[in-house]
Amino acid sequence: MNERKSIHGQWSSKLAFILAATGSAVGLGNIWKFPYITGENGGGAFVLVYLLCIALIGIPIMMAEVMLGRRGRRSPINTMALLASEEGKSNGWVALGWMGVVAGFLILSYYSVIAGWAMSYVFRTGSGMFVGATADGVSSIFTDFISDPEKLLAWHTIFMVMTMIVVARGVKNGLEKAVTLLMPLLFGLLLLVVGYAMTTGHFQQGLDFLFTPGPITGDAVLIAMGHAFFTLSLGMGAIMVYGSYLPKSTSITQAAFAVALADTAVALLAGMAIFPIVFANGLEPGAGPGLIFKTLPIAFGHMEGGILIGVSFFLLLVFAAWTSAISLIEPAVAYLVENRGMKRVYASVWIGVATWLVGIGSVLSFNVWADKTWSLPFIFENKNFNFFDTLDYMTANVMLPLGGLFIAIFAGWLMREQSSREEMNTWSWAYKAWRFLVRFVAPLAVIIVFLKAVDAI
């Protein structure tokens, strides 16, 4: 087969791909979402299920996504169309690409709102308003903030503009270099906060909460699995589209392990930083989406050099969110460029404006529409979901795992063994292990977790 090329260009090296994929994976999911859903779902057992899902479902599906992307060398929609026809399968597989585009769009709409919170906290921390603050003070500052829709809207707008600018310029320009420097810095600052957490006298309690498994519900298992997809950017084509820019010679196996390892390390560190602060200050682990904004400022308000550390921390968090946001709309932009002949700039603006509009719903979920809630069929019968919760739930816990399931089925069952072996181009034992996981373990696990969450088993 002649080697295909992507019309959008290629990564300059294997490291560039790993950095970009890590940039996509490490984001709000690790530092904002992981701690708060762990807190809401009782800790230890939830973390254990999440780790199992990363290892048994996440890594094999990540390898499958990169493999499909590199083989197709197009946006996920067109890659699925091309590969399905090459393998003699139905053109209906483009639906998988479409679902990913929709999921990415919906996720970005609320992701941007939360990234806006982090941006505002750069300035809040910088102003010194948290110096010496009590837990109550920090909590009420947060509550006041999110009850102001205009402020949230302003930050959401700024973040969307930032995202569109980078996407318009093309994902590869400049981003690679920034990630090389900033990711390790974020890691370092997290370590500093963990260091502070050790001084609270509640470090052990935090560790126990994170790592001692207790009972767990079917719904919590679904959330843990959904988060494994979310945090690794899987099931919607982001990793596939990055894979389509990957040079032929790169080892997909090694790249997937590197990305998953870095991503998991950041999430666990975030948990180790936050829960000791929660317990030391008598806060609720299940405080919800505001958890990091109610805890970390306490640390920054009390540690040596806290203002500088806090400002840098939130700045790096914004940066991490930025590199994730870009990958959320890259599949849609690549599609418009390929199929509608649009310039990247116009494609980014169109999609950006639409995402921004939907995001207003999430802005309002925290204030004006806070009591507009409903229940969702099958799951959490006693929980009320607002607009933001619904988007988050439907994307992370339904659309991404469903997308992942179909990716696994396509890569493991429909693609000829020869095609995947050739594209994967890895050690024979690694290929065999991957194929077993992606054919049996990952799809069955996703199906069982789905069935369990709707109480069917």
Q: How far is the CB of 227 from ligand PHE (least distance, A)?
A: 9
Instruction: Show the tokens assigned to 222.
Output: 């679904």
165 HSE (CA, 13 A, CB side): 9
Q: Which is nearer to ligand PHE, 45 or 270 (CB)?
A: 270
What is the C-alpha to C-alpha distance for residues 352 and 445, in angstroms, rounded to an integer? Answer: 35
Q: Which of 327, 355, 362, 365 binds ligand PHE (CB under 6 A)?
A: 327
What is the C-alpha to C-alpha distance for residues 240 and 237, in angstroms, rounded to an integer? Answer: 5
Q: Which is nearer to ligand PHE, 392 or 423 (CB)?
A: 392
Q: Which is nearer to ligand PHE, 27 or 306 (CB)?
A: 27
Q: Which of 238, 273, 283, 311 binds ligand PHE (CB under 6 A)?
A: 238
Instruction: Show the tokens assigned to 115.
Output: 């990234």
Q: Which is nearer to ligand PHE, 135 or 167 (CB)?
A: 167
Q: DSSP for 375-408, please give it.
A: --SSS-TT--B-HHHHHHIIIIIIIHHHHHHHHH
Is there binding between residue 355 and ligand PHE (CB under 6 A)? Answer: no
Q: How far is the CB of 67 from ligand PHE (least distance, A)?
A: 18
Is there binding between residue 107 and ligand PHE (CB under 6 A)? Answer: yes
- 68, 410 in Cβ contact below 8 A? yes
Of 244-252, 289-297, 321-329, 406-414, which segment contacts ligand PHE by CB under 6 A? Answer: 321-329
Residues 197-236 touching ligand PHE, rule: CB under 6 A, are 230-231, 233, 236
Q: How far is the CB of 320 from ligand PHE (least distance, A)?
A: 7
Q: How far is the CB of 61 from ligand PHE (least distance, A)?
A: 12
Instruction: Show the tokens assigned to 341.
Output: 């002949």
Instruction: Show the tokens assigned to 143.
Output: 């509550």
Burial (CB count within 10 angstroms: exposed 0-12, middle 13-18, buried 19+), residue 101? buried
Q: Which is nearer to ligand PHE, 274 or 298 (CB)?
A: 274
Residues 18-37 touching ligand PHE, rule: CB under 6 A, are 24-25, 27-30
- 101, 79 in Cβ contact below 8 A? no
Q: How far is the CB of 116 from ligand PHE (least distance, A)?
A: 14
Q: How far is the CB of 328 from ligand PHE (least distance, A)?
A: 5
Relative orientation angle of helices 135-146 and 94-126, to the nearest 10 degrees: 130
Is there binding between residue 96 and ligand PHE (CB under 6 A)? Answer: no
- 141, 289 in Cβ contact below 8 A? no
Q: Which is nearer to ligand PHE, 264 or 327 (CB)?
A: 327
Is there binding between residue 445 and ligand PHE (CB under 6 A)? Answer: no
Q: Which is nearer to ligand PHE, 139 or 324 (CB)?
A: 324
Query: Residue of minimal CB distance from ligand PHE?
Result: 29
What is the C-alpha to C-alpha distance for residues 350 and 394, in angstroms, rounded to an integer? Answer: 24
Rg (CA), the chain: 21
Q: Which is nearer to ligand PHE, 112 or 139 (CB)?
A: 112
CA distances from 398 to 110, 266, 446, 447, 450 (A): 16, 24, 10, 11, 8
Binding footprint of ligand PHE, residue count (CB under 6 A): 15
Of 38-46, 127-135, 323-331, 386-394, which segment contacts ligand PHE by CB under 6 A? Answer: 323-331
What is the C-alpha to C-alpha distance for residues 194 and 200, in angstroms, rounded to an integer? Answer: 10
Q: Which is nearer to ligand PHE, 106 or 283 (CB)?
A: 106
What is the C-alpha to C-alpha distance for residues 37 and 35, in angstroms, rounded to an integer? Answer: 6
Using alpha carbons, select from 327, 397, 441 the residue that is nearest to residue 64. Answer: 441
Q: Which is nearer to ligand PHE, 277 or 329 (CB)?
A: 329
Q: How far is the CB of 85 from ligand PHE (least distance, A)?
A: 26
Is there binding between residue 324 and ligand PHE (CB under 6 A)? Answer: yes
Instruction: Show the tokens assigned to 447.
Output: 């199906």
Locate all alpha helices (DSSP H) within 147-217, ordered by sequence: 149-169, 175-198, 203-211
296 φ/ψ sector (left φ>0, alpha ψ -120 to 50, else beta): alpha
Q: How far is the CB of 237 from ligand PHE (least distance, A)?
A: 8
Q: Which is nearer to ligand PHE, 41 or 324 (CB)?
A: 324
* Interior/surface letters 180-189, b for 16+ CB within 10 angstroms, e for the rest: eebbeebeeb
Q: How far is the CB of 144 from ligand PHE (least distance, A)?
A: 26
* Interior/surface letters 55-86, b for 16+ CB within 10 angstroms, e for the rest: eebbbbbbbbbbbbbbbbbbbbbbbbbbbbee
Q: How far is the CB of 49 from ligand PHE (least distance, A)?
A: 17
Per CB under 6 A, residues contacting ligand PHE are 24-25, 27-30, 107, 230-231, 233, 236, 238, 324, 327-328
